[in-house]
Amino acid sequence: MTPIDDSSSNSRRKFFKKAFASIALSTTGIYSVKAFSSNSPSFAGEREAIRITRLEIFKVKPRFLFLKVHTDQGIVGLGEPITEGRADTCAAAIKEMEPYLIGKDARSIIHHWQALYRHSFYRGGPILTSALSGLDQALWDIKGKALGVPIYELMGGPTRDRIRVYAHARTAESIKKAKEQGFTAFKTGVRNATQSGVIATQKFVEEATADFAELKCAAGKDGDVGIDFHGAISPQTAGLLIHALEPYQPFFIEEPVNCQNVDIMASLARQTHLPIATGERVFTKWGFREILEKQAASVLQPDLCHAGGIFEGRLIAGMAEAYYATIAPHNPLGPISLASGLQLAACIPNFLCQEQVTLGEGYIKTPFVVKNGHVETPKGPGLGIELDEDAIADKLGHEWHNQESYLNSDGSVVDW
C-alpha cells in the first residue's frame, strides 16, 4: 500500500477550501457566502437563518393585491395573494398567518406551506390557497435573492431560452394591434356567452362561431387563438359549439363547462380532437389529480396566485407530464403573478404558453418585452423583478368587485 503523503493531502484540502470560498464570494447572495464561509465547520455547515420580521399587504389598481415579506437580512420577497373580488378577504387570511410566520426562517418554504395548509384543518379552497400562493412566491423570491439566482435555477435549471406569451383579444382589430406588439398567440371569449342559456339557439351557435372565425382570420394560419368558454356555457351547448369551432382549429377550448363538472368535461374531451384546457379554479395538486386521472383536459392552467404557488405549480406540471399534458399558467393579474409564471415556465419541460394582461409597465422598473411572440427567460435573482414604488404610488387602493350577470329574457342569475 502506498503511504499517504500528509503534506500533499493538506495542500489539496487548502486548495479546495480556498476554491469554495472564492465561488461563494462570486455570488450576490448572503446565503451562499454564509454557506461556504471559511469559518463554516464543513461544506454543509450551519447557515445563518433569514428571519421573517414583517408582512406588508396593499391593494393595487385595477384589482391586484401585493405582498411584501420583510426579513432581518434586509431581503424583501414579493408575492401576489389574491382571489379576484376578494382582496380584503385574502389580506385577512395573510394577516392570520402572520403569528406563525414572524420569526421563522424564510428558507423553509415547503415546511411553512405544509404547516399553514394542513394545520388549518379545513384544507383547500380559493382563499387559503391564494394566500398560500402569494406567500410561496415571496419566500422563493427571498431564497433566490439570497442565493443570487433566479427561482428556476433552484428547481432544476432552465429548459428554454424564451417563453411564449399570449394576449387577450376580443376583436380582429385588437388582434392586429397585438401582432404589431410582437404577439403570435391570443385568447378570446365566446360572443355573448352569458346569454347562451341552458339550450342555445342555432343563431347563437352560428354567430359565436362566425365571430371566432373572423378573429382566427386576423391571427393568420401561423397564429394561435384560444377560446375561453369561462365555464358559462351549458353542457348541452358546449358540445355543439366545440363541434362548430373545429374547422377553425382553436389553440384550445378553455373551461368548456364549469370546472367542477369533471365527468362532463372528460366526455367532451373524448368527442373532439381540439385540446381542452382548464385549471384557473382548480386548487393544489389534489385538485388537478382528478382532471388528469379522468383525462378531462390536456392543457392544464394552474393559476400560481390561486393553486398554491410556484412550487405547487411545479408539482402539478410533473403530474401533468406523466399524463402527456401540457402547462399554460393562468394569469389575468399583475406583474408579480406574471413573473411567477415565467419562473415556472422556465424550468418545466411541458410548457405551452403563458397568459398575461400586463407586461409590468407602470408597476416594475424593467417591464417584460415581447419579441416574436416570446419574452426572454428572466435572468435576475428571485422573481427577477423590482417594483417601481414611484409608479405604483398613484395606483394604491381599489374596490374591484366581480361582475353580476343575469339572463336578459327572465332576469335569472348566469355565470360570467
Burial class (CB in 10 A: 0-12, 13-18, 19+), 382: buried
Query: Which sign, positive or negative, has the C-alpha torsion 125, 130, 133, 139?
Result: negative
Partners of 226 in the beta sheet?
Answer: 187
Q: Give the whole-angstrom CA distance, residue 304 versus residue 337.
A: 7
User: Could you give the residue ranges of the DSSP H alpha helices within 58-108?
Assistant: 87-101
DSSP 132-197: HHHHHHHHHHHHHHHHTSBGGGGGT--S-SEEEEEEE-SSHHHHHHHHHTT--EEEEE-TTGGG--
d(CA 97, CA 100): 6
CA distance 12 to 20: 12
Show which residues are catalytic. Answer: 230, 330
403-408: long-range pairs with CB below 8 Å, 24+ = 405/194, 405/232, 407/194, 407/195, 407/197, 408/195
| Whole-number Å distance between alpha carbons of 414 and 232 | 7
> Taken in order 353, 359, 364, 365, is the CA torsion positive or negative?
positive
Residue 352: all three cell numbers together: 405551452
How far is Cα 46 from Cα 52, in angstroms, rounded to an integer?
18
